[in-house]
Amino acid sequence: MGRAAEFLRAHRPTTRRLAQLYCALLYNAHLKGFPEGSIYTGAAKAVCVPGLNCYSCPGAVGACPLGAMQNALASAGTRSGAYVFGILMLFGVMLGRTVCGWLCPVGLFQELLHRIPTPKLQKSRITRGLSLVKYLILALFAVALPLWYALKEGVPVPAFCKYICPAGTFEGAAALLSSPRNDGLFAMLGTLFTRKWVILSVIVLSCVFCWRAFCRFVCPLGAIYSLFSSLAVIGVRVDESKCTRCGACVRACGMDVKRVGDRECIHCGECMSHCAEGAISIKCGRITLRGAEGARGADRAPEKGKGKRAGRIVRGILTAFLLFAVLWFNVLSPGGVEEASAPARSWESSAPVGSDEGMQPADFTVSLVGGGAFHLADARGRVTVINLWATWCGPCVEELPVFSDFQTAHPDACVLAIHSPDIIVEEDVVAFTEKNSALNVLFAMGEGAKEAYAAVGGGLILPQTAVLNARGEVVYNQPGRMTAKQLEELYERAKTETGP
């Protein structure tokens, strides 16, 4: 027992490791999302967490600041995005890259990977030079591309999330695909997924051999926070009166720092134990949060009674908060956006009511943009294509011309695009339809949209397309993009088949 206790004491996690684990659990407190294969849709998701955490992760209870920033830029021209920039500014000024060292789950993951015993790549001038690549990625993928696509093409493209981010591939895709409830998502796998999976694999391997490779060379969020390195309230500070400029701290640091506290410093505080003079500490303004360790002489002040008690109180509050968060997001939370129950059908049919293939969606009436209404029952006798979309969904916007061309080629069919009813901003949809008035598609939104979504089983994944045959039976109903060829095949099938 004594040896076990000694072993545990020698290998207990550090405060920083506990903080990282705490944040990883807090950011992903919606634990029931993992077995259910669904994401949290509550109001808490309007709040950005400080670290990198994909909001498509089944456990995520907050928004990713980097994803939110790209989406804010993607809506340039219609909205200011001030909220996200304000949040980034506050995080930057208050915490700076302390977020990277203490509060980011991706950082934790990288450090754990690095513990795998292999030869390790040492830092050098080359790695210091490579650390500038993340600023390039920030400028190009996180800022320029979303802005360009938004202003020139009118399509929202969160380029870093779409092409590079490993958090989305791992936390989002892997977690969602592992649930049997999301088997339909496998139909959406393609080149993009393969590319992202390769990038994830490369990053994971790199982190094994190179300490925090993603943080040092790729992460745009770290690049943003590094801009505030000289201003951050909380961080590692050097006492100039004690510092002998021996360089031990810089040599011991795994990041590509030139001095403690520069733009590459993640304020992990690991250098504190290497400073013989005890010149390094973690401060919040002028308050010392963590004093110097390993100092020569008697500079290592024992923790006083008041400080110890304050520490216990803080730990107790944080633990209680985490437990409450887990309880709230898994049990008590009223949930998110309301899901309307499908109304009863208004016409007789032999197929059961439902949204799966072979079933008949319940009748609905939905308002059209520009006036009028669409009644599903009136579309009987025609092949009906129902597309669920949103203005903020890049793939949705990109595929609308396919439906327009289809409608033009087949005037006997009926193509209806229903905008997502979740917290809709009608002016945005009206503006979009006016700007794209050449699209030969019926656009619907507002009244009746919730019932329409419920009728075709519309959920959290957009775009989604349902094809109904002339009797109103579902021939196809899947999330994911449609190609012209797929639409043609489904049209032919709907005209001839009665459904499975």
Partner 1 sequence: MRPKQERIFYLLQALLCILVCLSLAAGAVGIYARGTGEGGEGDGREEIYTREKAAAALILPGALAVLLFLHSLLKPLIAPGSVPRVGKRERISRPPEAVRPFGGRTGAVRAVLIALGAGLIVYGIADGSMRDVLVKAIHICTECIGLG
DSSP state of 119: -
Asked if residue 249 binds partner 1 (CB under 8 A), the reply is: yes
**Do strands 234-238 and 280-284 pair parallel, antiparallel, or not at all (unpaired)?**
antiparallel
State the DSSP H helix or E strand holding residue 416, giving kind and residue range, or none if neither: strand 414-419
Q: Figure out which of the listed residues 104, 106, 108, 161 binds partner 1, where binding follows CB under 8 A.
A: 161
**Contact letters for partner 1, residues 410-449 (x by CB under 8 A):** ----------x-xx-x-x--xx------------------
The pair of structure tokens assigned to 258 is 């030139």
- For residue 153, give every residue at least 6 positions away whose Cβ sits within 8 Å of its Cβ, in sequence order, or none: none
Q: Mask of contacts with partner 1, 448-487, x by CB under 8 A? A: ------------xxxx---------------xxx------
Binding residue (CB under 8 A) for partner 1 from 86, 307, 311, 358? 86
Nearer to partner 1, 400 or 414 (CB): 400
- Quick one: which H or E segment has residue 234? strand 234-238
Q: State in angstroms the smallest separation of the CB of 499 from partner 1.
A: 26
Q: How many CB atoms lie within 10 A of CB 432?
A: 21
Instruction: Name the minimum Å distance from CB 349 to partner 1.
Output: 31
Tell the burial category of 500 from Cβ atoms under 10 Å away from its Cβ (0-12, 13-18, 19+).
exposed
Nearer to partner 1, 46 or 323 (CB): 46
Closer of 360 and 391 to partner 1 (Cβ): 391
Q: What part of residues 362-391 is at the interface with partner 1 (CB under 8 A)?
A: 390
Sequence-distant (≥ 6) Cβ neighbours of residue 288 within 8 angstroms: 281, 282
Q: Report, in Å, the least distance between residue 208 CB and partner 1.
A: 22
State the nearest-atom distance from the C-beta of 253 to partner 1, in Å.
11
Q: What is the 3-state secondary structure (H, E, C) of 48-105?
A: ECCCCCCCCCCCCCCECHHHHHHHHHHCCCCCCCHHHHHHHHHHHHHCCCHHHHHHCH
- Measured CA to CA, the distance from residue 456 to residue 163 in angstroms comes to 31
Q: Which of residues 307-346 bind partner 1 (CB under 8 A)?
A: 336-337
Q: State in angstroms the smallest separation of the CB of 366 from partner 1.
A: 19
Closer by beta carbon to partner 1, 64 or else 376: 64
Angle at 135 between CA 103 and CA 161, to 5 degrees: 65
**Smallest separation, CB 353 to partner 1 (Å):** 26
Task: Find the binding residues for partner 1 in span 19-48 (CB under 8 A).
Answer: 39-43, 45-46, 48
